[in-house]
Amino acid sequence: MKPLYIVILLWAVLISLLADGIGGALEAIPVVGTVLGLVVALCVNVTMGAGFLFLLISNGMYHPKFGPFFIIGGFLPGIDFLPFWLGLGVVAILQDYEKEHPKAFGVAGAAIQTALNVESGNIAGAAKSAARGASALGQQSASQDTRPAAQTETRSPIALKSPNINHDIAPKRAANDNLPYVQKTA
């Protein structure tokens, strides 16, 4: 696991713990505790959430599809006690991991993407992701074949010598110097 992933998860948990902890502690104040708790939780979510978003965006990990849902949920007073920031961090990490390892989630990722596309009414996207899942399933069954594969790679020698190997590096001579080069001693 990358250190950046750990920082993202810890920051998301810290936002949730701080906002909920301070908000819950202020609930003990009899009259204005609830209002103060909501205000402080909102301030913590907005300030630390903005920094969290900056971290995700600057590392190219912001998820454009699920990001707005988690951000709005994290900012809404009353439901901000749910771990929206942690959800945003997990989605960002999964998206980044999928970029680095395209076949990591294989059939499961394609099935989830197909379901999301069908739910949103994107039939063309659903067909494309279903086809990706079918090809991933075919590749998994083909990779489980225990027969040894025939080696088709051929190697060719690498030409490392320069065509002008004896003339590439020559000492710099004066314009009228026709004598062979001899290093002068001090």
The pLDDT tens digits of the residues spanning 14-33 come to 998 998 899 889 988 888 99
pLDDT tens for 55-92 read 999 999 998 888 899 999 988 877 878 889 999 999 99
Please check whether residue 88 is in contact with residue 64, taking contact to mean a CB–CB distance below 8 angstroms: no
For 158, the token pair is 């690498």
Cβ count within 10 A of residue 182: 7
Q: According to the model, what pLDDT value does residue 64 have?
A: 87
Instruction: Kindly list the distances between the CA atom of residue 75 and the CA atoms of 37, 55, 79, 88, in Å, as whole numbers in the listed order.
Output: 14, 17, 8, 13
SS3 166: coil
Q: Say what the pTM is.
A: 0.57
Closest CA to 80 of 29, 57, 88: 88
